[in-house]
Chains A and B, each alone.
Chain A
Amino acid sequence: MNNLNVVRVARAAFSKRETGIIVAFLALCLVFALIAPGFANLTNLLNIGRQVAILGILACGLGTVMISGNIDLSIGAIYGLTSVLVAMMLSAGLDTGFAILLGLLVGMAAGALNGFFVVKTGVNSFIATFGMSYILRGIALIITSGYPITLALKGVTNETHPVFHFIGQGYFLGLPMQFIFLLIVVLITYFILHRTILGTHIFAIGGSERAAYVSGVKVGRVRMFTFIFSGVLASLSGILSLSFIGSVIPTAGTGMEFDVFAAVIIGGTSMSGGIGSVVGMMVGVLIFGVIRNGLVLLGVTAFWQTLIIGIITIGAVVYDSMVQRSRARMGG
């Protein structure tokens, strides 16, 4: 009897989509803890938390879009353009709060445009957001004439803008501010996806758009929300990164969408929509962070990270489809 219960509990645990990836993550941590000196201490773990913050915030946005059955390839460009614009606004003497607000509006506007093209004209989201990324990068290059902006050279220093400095570099209750932002975004995303009807609708249109529409779901509005959400989070990431680095190049964030994409896919989000979870996405993001950090501690070159991320991405998807297939065979 007892045995049966154990089996049932184990099966229930393993039937959760995220279980496999969590186990893999813990194994990875264990390996690094054993072989990488300095991996398993609080300072280093907090460091990882800060390092993955931007990737994690972007993943919340892209993951939401992907669950709804679309993709957003413009997040890297929104991130870059926002950084550039906020840097210019601060250099021009704009108030910190105002600059940040306008920065977030950039993402909101770009997201709304993405949503408009996908919802109103029926353009494939891959193409709409891909095109959008070129437009935004073009704008960033045009307005900077291709030159980087360094805040300190423009008179924006830690002394003149303490608040702006704090959001990217500061610590609160012993935690890096970037990590705190990540936590807040994760909580908000979790709340939206798993605790609101809007979240239910995001999953519903990702899995069965037509059926959801027939059942009264306002498909266009939901899609619009996902793109705006993703855009705003991309802008937030751009602002945090500017604050942390203190300078920005006009091509900042190029290719970043693919790192985020990999993390979201590793986290078990379905390419075709309708399936995914915030927990899974964050584990995907953490795997990224842990590998990067662990390999650095081991003295392995950064080139290996790239290769290993590729292997893990494919491995995660293969594992997932194997689980699906065996589940289909069992008839569950």
Chain B
Amino acid sequence: MSQAAVVRFKNIGKSFAGTRALDGVSFEVAKGEIHALLGENGAGKSTLLKILGGEIQHYEGEIEIEGKKTRFGSPLEAHSAGISIVHQELNLCNNLNVVDNVFLGKERKFKKAEKVNMIREKMKLLEIYLPLNLPVAHFSVAQKQMIEIIKATINEIKLLIMDEPTSALNSTEVEKLFMLMKKMKSSGVTIMFVSHRLEEVLQIADRITVLRDGKHIDTVPAAGMTKSKLVSMMVGREIVHKPRPVRDFSKEKTVLEVKNLSKPPFFQNCSFEIKRGEIVGIAGLEGCGRFELVQTVYGLQGRFAGQILFDGKAFHPKDPNRSIELGIGFIGQERKETGILSKMNLIANVTITLSRNDFLFRKKVAAARATEILRDLNVKYGSLHQLITSLSGGNQQKCIIGRILSQNPKLIIMEEPTRGIDVGSKEEIFKIVKQLASRGVAILIVSSELPELMNECDRILVMKSGRIVGEVFASETSQEEIMSMATGS
């Protein structure tokens, strides 16, 4: 098989700001196969695909394309070498029609009639039938994806890369996509794709490569594999599982109770509760609806069906301000977007919530409050008047926690509380979280890092495709158990 390799990765390594995204990854993608790339969130799949697609130019190691050493300087170079990527987020211009989208950037090479013919031929081959003159805004996500595939394969290509092609499709659409992939395969195109849905991977892939923590774990034939084997390969790392001591919360007051909460298409019929002093985690794969669920509770998602009780009283979240009044704090996953006030100094950033109903801005009082909050959380800073963007990610996050704590919340919702934060700050942040819990604050954490949830939470809810499919005590579970619930195996 080695002489027929389309791509050969040799010792690929890549670091981002100190963290090792990829480390010594070597494997081959054989000609004419459908090759699945598996791994948990953050295992390094996207980074690898970006390197192959020419979007990341600086990396260690070598890539051989059909036996030749290659180093792409841009996505365009990769494209002209016969490698096309269909991204998870589709990149079509909604106002342009199919023809203009497919030939975007290479309009001049062909006449209009030629373009139409090329697309028609491609469509016939792949058995897709779509009107060519409609702006693509009129098409469904699945149809847009087909247009992306046509766009990616309109020239002769060797390798088609698809990043989570099925994440936004329903089951019939997935079937269609797989038919299409098989047709492309039989026409000689090699396909590499990333998916989180193990059953689909087993159904369509010829071979599977598993990455974990940036390392290549194994490349195996799909035939004879089982979901549980794949799951154990994906999470197999030896982590020190030192869960919180088991505590009985049954006698504690319920802080938040959610009954049959639904917001299609994001989540359906979700019910759970959190007691005083309890730390509850929500695990799940990308797109499972966990962020939408907690954002709904905070009032960021608008309308929903179902019931929410906060502190025993019915609560209909509408906007953050009311949630804050009631005693809910929220830390969003996009720190730049929903967290920091990027053009403002530490005083404003730390006291914005605390002082939101005041009339006067009293500089000295605000500075004193800010100093106190920053000291309590051990934030490292130079001056109160420096911009928050000049702090490290960990210290920014602590500022945001401080902003929320100034309200003495009863419930704190945290999305990816340690994303982009160094190890030392991570520990400090969880120390703060545990202290808060011991003081009776209920804490709800959504995190993609399973070890983190297992070591810091009392209880973990597992979501899959918008539903809560499992609930486990952190002390009695394993990563394998959670992953198999999250992937549905």
Contact = CB atoms under 8 A, between A and B. Distances in A.
Interface string A207-230: 110111111111000000000000
Given A204-B348, A214-B339, 5 more contacts: A204-B341, A207-B342, A211-B339, A275-B343, A332-B390
Contacts of A199: 361
B243 to A, nearest CB: 31
A200 B355 contact: yes
A71 B341 CA distance: 21
Interface in A189-206: 194-201, 203-204, 206
B339 A197 contact: no
B24 interface: no
The size bracket of the interface on B is 20 to 34
11 contacts: A200-B361, A210-B337, A210-B338, A212-B341, A215-B320, A215-B356, A216-B321, A218-B356, A274-B343, A274-B344, A275-B343
Interface in B301-360: 319-321, 324, 330, 332, 337-344, 348, 352-353, 355-360
A215 B352 contact: yes
Given A213-B320, A215-B353, A196 B360 contact: yes
Most B CB atoms within 10 A — which of A197, A203, A207, A217?
A: A197
Contacts of B319: 213
B357 to A, nearest CB: 8
A332 B385 CA distance: 12
A44 to B, nearest CB: 37
B352 A194 contact: no
A154 B6 CA distance: 90
Interface of B: 298, 300, 319-321, 324, 330, 332, 337-344, 348, 352-353, 355-361, 390, 403
B257 to A, nearest CB: 23
A214 to B, nearest CB: 5
A23 B338 CA distance: 37
Nearest to A273: B343
B343 A208 contact: yes
Which label, helix, strand, loop or mixed, suits the secondary structure of the A interface? helix
Contacts of A197: 355-361
A214 B332 contact: yes
A199 B340 CA distance: 18
Interface residues of A, number: 25
Contacts of B403: 215
Contacts of A275: 343
Pairs A-B, 10 closest by C-beta atoms: A207-B343, A274-B343, A216-B324, A216-B321, A208-B341, A197-B358, A216-B356, A214-B338, A215-B353, A215-B352
A203 B320 contact: no
B321 A218 contact: yes
A215 B330 CA distance: 8
A212 to B, nearest CB: 6
B360 A211 contact: no
Contacts of B357: 197
B361 A211 contact: no
A182 to B, nearest CB: 24
A268 B245 CA distance: 57
B344 A204 contact: yes
Contact of B353 (A194, A210, A216): A216
Max chain B Cβ within 10 angstroms of own Cβ: one of A200, A207, A213, A218: A200
B342 A208 contact: yes
A191 B358 CA distance: 14
A194 B343 contact: no
Nearest to A199: B361
A212 B353 CA distance: 9
Given A200-B352, A203-B348, A211 B321 contact: no
A265 to B, nearest CB: 17
Given A197-B361, A203-B348, A211 B356 contact: no
A218 B352 CA distance: 12
Contacts of B338: 210-211, 214
Most buried by A among B330, B348, B357, B390: B348
Contacts of B390: 332
Contacts of B339: 211, 214
Contacts of B359: 196-198
A200 B348 contact: yes
Nearest to B403: A215
B443 to A, nearest CB: 18
A211 B337 CA distance: 6
Contacts of B320: 213-216
B361 A217 contact: no
B344 to A, nearest CB: 6
A203 B324 contact: no
Contacts of B356: 197, 201, 215-218
A274 B352 CA distance: 15
A191 B343 CA distance: 20
Contact of A195 (B298, B340, B353, B361): B361
Nearest to B325: A216
B436 to A, nearest CB: 18
A207 B321 contact: no
Interface in A220-255: none
A213 B319 CA distance: 8
A196 B361 contact: yes
Nearest to A198: B359
A196 B359 CA distance: 6
A4 to B, nearest CB: 17
A156 to B, nearest CB: 40
Contacts of A208: 337, 340-344
A194 B361 contact: yes
Interface string A62-97: 000000000000000000000000000000000000
A211 B324 contact: no
A67 to B, nearest CB: 10
B341 A211 contact: yes
A204 B353 CA distance: 11
Nearest to B323: A216
Contacts of A212: 341, 352
A218 B339 CA distance: 16
Contacts of A274: 342-344
A206, A214, A217: residue with the most chain B Cβ atoms closer than 10 Å: A214
B361 A204 contact: no
Contacts of B298: 214
Contacts of A216: 320-321, 324, 352-353, 356
A195 B365 CA distance: 12
B454 to A, nearest CB: 28
Contacts of A332: 390
Contacts of A201: 352, 356
A201 B341 CA distance: 10
B332 to A, nearest CB: 6
A211 B353 CA distance: 11
A204 B356 CA distance: 11
